[in-house]
Amino acid sequence: MTTTVDDKQTSKEFFNEWMGAKGPKGWVGRYISNTGRWYTDMLIREGHIKPEDKIIDVGCGSATTIVNLLKSVSLDEPIQAVEPSEEQLKLAKKNIGEAGFSDKIVLKQGFASPLDFKDNTFDLVYASFIIKHFADDSVADFFEEAHRVLKPGGRFLCWEFATVTSKIFKKLASNPKKAMQNFRSFEQIGKFLVAAGFKDIEEFKVQNRGFWDPVVDAGARATK
Ligand SMILES: C[S@@+](CC[C@H](N)C(=O)[O-])C[C@H]1O[C@@H](n2cnc3c(N)ncnc32)[C@H](O)[C@@H]1O
């Protein structure tokens, strides 16, 4: 297994700098980071979430999607959440605490690979908007790890920017020194899933976000 240290560190530092910034840059960053709530319905629907599911959110950011998940669905086991950036972890801790879910979400600092969990642990591995920050090696490593920690029959769910059409957004989003922006189509994501050993690989349509219209997302679901 090859591990790309550079994109891990670059991305972590990028989020630390952005989320921790004072002034408008930080306000915008923290606002965007807290928009995960828009995706909760999609997570429930596409992840086929059931109360008995053991779930991990990889690269949870401010944890808003899973906080909102717990407002809609009662789970038997705490959700595990992994996030490398200290600044994102601070936001996540605050959001989780304010929602009263400190005993229902276990936050850990860490990267998508390696995942510090035993083989066959989870029913659902969920990752939203993280793989654009990964070079190909890191996507391969993460998907192998996702496959390893899933129980047989467990589900993997991820979505990410596939293409951007706006010139301004393209420019903003394609600075390799900052966050390793690698946009991939469902077909490209699917190849990594096949290589990691997943089956039943399916695309789903990511819901429209209104002001993010210049960005087209790819959603992928697969089974171990
Ligand atoms: C755009 S945010 C998305 C956060 C959240 N998943 C959501 O959908 O709202 C991307 C997150 O991925 C995290 N990240 C970047 N590189 C990572 C890595 N190698 N492993 C795990 N998470 C990573 C970042 O720190 C950041 O919090």
CATH number at residue 40: 3.40.50.150
Q: With a 6 A CB cut-off, is 206 part of the ligand 1 pocket?
A: no
Domain count, the chain: 1
The predicted pLDDT at position 109 comes to 97
Pairing mode, strands 105-109 and 122-128: unpaired
The predicted pLDDT at position 17 comes to 85
pLDDT confidence bin for 15, thresholds 50/70/90: confident
Q: Which residue out of 11, 12, 80 has the highest number of ligand 1 atoms within 8 Å of its CB and is therefore the one to mutate?
A: 11
pLDDT confidence bin for 2, thresholds 50/70/90: very low
Q: With a 6 A CB cut-off, is 154 part of the ligand 1 pocket?
A: no
Residues spanned by the domain of 217: 5-223
Q: Between residues 127 and 164, which one has the greater pLDDT?
A: 127
H-only helix segments in the chain:
5-20, 24-33, 40-46, 64-72, 86-98, 136-149, 167-172, 176-179, 186-195
Q: Which three-class secondary structure state does DSSP give residue 144?
A: helix
Share of the chain above pLDDT 90, in %: 64
Query: How many Å apart are CA 129 and CA 138, to the nearest integer?
Result: 14
Residue 66 has pLDDT above 70, yes or no: yes
Q: What is the DSSP letter of 38?
A: G
Over range 58-80, report the average pLDDT: 96
